[in-house]
Structure 1
Amino acid sequence: HVLGALKPAALKAIVLNDIGPVIEAEGLAHIRSYLDRAPRPKTFAEAVDTQRRVHGAGFPALTDADWARMVGAICRDTDAGLVPDFDPALVETLANVDFSKPLPDLWPQFNALAAVPLLAIRGGNSTLLSTATLEEMAERHPGMETITVEGQGHAPLLETGNLPKKIADFLDRAEVKST
């Protein structure tokens, strides 16, 4: 959002994966809660089971192979064993968020993207990007395309189902518009 507001000509097209100008506090609180007590599985299989147990309700559409790919993307094997692979500063940043106060929004920055082809993908079970925010995004950016991925939460796995083809088709259409 900010890059688009600062240098809109630098962007030919935008794909937002379950994020928008408004972030729901409930979803952010869930992420903070999970990161605060991120489990330390000993094996890959244990990590897959843990992810399925913790996030399964939000991602009922995932197959065993999808869960394994997710764990492969969010964990790495080290000499100390399997560890979560995310920026530790994220935990500190989220620890300082006061959820009793409204979170800031990025509507002015989003509005600056009006001329850029935009695809917004929302997980049908997302608690981070609400349906209401997605609808307002579409009102403010009439050319925006949307995809709702049923059976997935935040953030949908972009390599599942027919998402790769839909994203590629959007980017092809965006390229045609920009030439």
Structure 2
Amino acid sequence: MHTASDQGFSDFFYAAPDGLRLHARIYGEANTDAWPVVCLPGLTRNARDFHELALFLSREAARPRKVIAFDYRGRGLSAYDPDIGHYNVGVEAGDVLAGLSALNIDEAAFVGTSRGGLIIHVLGALKPAVLKAIVINDIGPVIEIEGLCHIRSYLDRTPKPKTFAEAVDTQRRVHGAGFPALSDADWSRMVAAIYRDTEAGLLPDFDSTLVDTLAGIDFEKPLPDLWAQFDALAAVPLLAIRGANSKLLSAATLKEMQRRHSGMETITVEGQGHAPFLETGSLPSEIAGFFDRAEANQTK
């Protein structure tokens, strides 16, 4: 089901394989002569994170593209799942494939931030032909425990600001040290993307039980790595973006990714941590240029 909007996108609702009602935003629906771009957000984030990047890719880029930004189950406008065991990257990858099938999209370029990048690794195992080019934002086959601890501790005590201004102050206080490059407008955009306005005030726009999915992780042990899944992406054009202050993706892991994927391009974003804001600086034009090069090389 499509619902049009005057903000540059339409809302698309579809059924997950288990029947749950899920949502995605579609930008530039008429742009059909280039690979579409699929945007996959982080753990508790949603399609709104990609609004500015999606507007650029669908309207301002040299080769405008259709962009689909997904809300995973339990986030944004997608329904919450009564079984928190379904909040995992395998189920979410299946949900993304169901959405693409409903939209008759067989292949696309992908942008995955954090958890979205992990889902791309899974898609490479489930349906490798769907991946034409990949941008992974501050994630790799090895997740640093320190970064995951930071995420869990923040989510465990998710702030409950009463006003928008208070929410901006809170986000800046919690994350500001890792993101000195951000402007006031950047912080405001972040807050608008992660909170929803309700009668009870501002609330984080995700199912609060998502926090419980991190409870079973043993932070004393290294997490399982995804090198085998990453190696399976060796033939897919890849751009890896890392925040210079990231605690989740180490410089050493990025270097090893480059060694294993000889054609991989990299961007390190100064003044930002996990995960860089993809609408800032030259990132939108660099992402657009990467997709254009990847598509041109494939059609030679």
With the length of structure 1 as denominator, give the TM-score of the two structures: 0.97
The aligned counterpart of 1:11 is 131
CA contact (8 A) 1:5 1:110 kept: no
Which of 134, 144, 153 aligns to 2:273? It is 153
Aligned partners of 1:29 and 1:137: how far apart in 2? 23
1:137 to 257, 277, 280: 257
Aligned amino acid, residue 196 of structure 2: R
Per-residue deviation at 1:175? 1.0
Q: What aligned pairs does 1:14-163 form with structure 2 within 5 A after superposition?
A: 14-163=134-283
Q: In structure 1, list runs of 5 or more residues that go unmatched.
A: none
Report how far residue 153 of structure 1 moved: 0.4
Return the structure number with greater strand share. 2
Which string of whole-angstrom CA distances, capped at 9 and with x for unpartnered residues, describes residues 21-51 of structure 1? 1100000000000000011000000000000
Change (3 A) 1:145 1:87: farther
Q: Which runs of 5+ in 2 are unaligned?
A: 1-120
TM-score w.r.t. the length of structure 2 is 0.59
How many corresponding residue pairs? Answer: 179
Deviation digits for residues 66-86 of structure 1 (CA, Å, limit 9, x no counterpart): 000111111111111111123
Report the Cα distance in structure 1 between the residues aligned to 2:223 and 2:266, rounded to whole angstroms. 24
| Counterpart for residue 168 of structure 1 | 288
Structure having greater relative contact order (Cα 8 Å, sep ≥ 6): 1
Q: Secondary structure at the match of 1:13?
A: strand
Contact 1:75–1:82, Cα closer than 8 Å, also in 2: yes
Distance 1:86 1:17 in 2: 21
SS in 2 for 1:41: coil
- Give the structure with the larger helix fraction: 1
SS for the counterpart of 1:83 is strand
Q: Report the alpha carbon displacement of residue 108 of structure 1 after superposing the two structures with TM.
A: 0.1
> Hey, what's the Cα distance between the residues in 2 that align with 1:22 and 1:165?
28
In structure 2, relative to structure 1, the CA distance for the partners of 1:120 and 1:87 (3 Å cut) is farther
**Partner Cα distance (2:162, 2:274) in 1:** 25
Is the 1:124–1:149 Cα contact (8 Å) retained in structure 2?
Answer: yes
What is the distance in 2 between the residues matched to 1:75 and 1:131? 31
- Indicate the residue corresponding to 2:11 in structure 1: none
Detail structure 1 runs of 4+ shifted over 2 Å in the superposition: 86-90
Identity of aligned residues (%): 80
Q: Name the aligned partner's letter for residue 9 of structure 1.
A: A
Aligned to 2:90: none
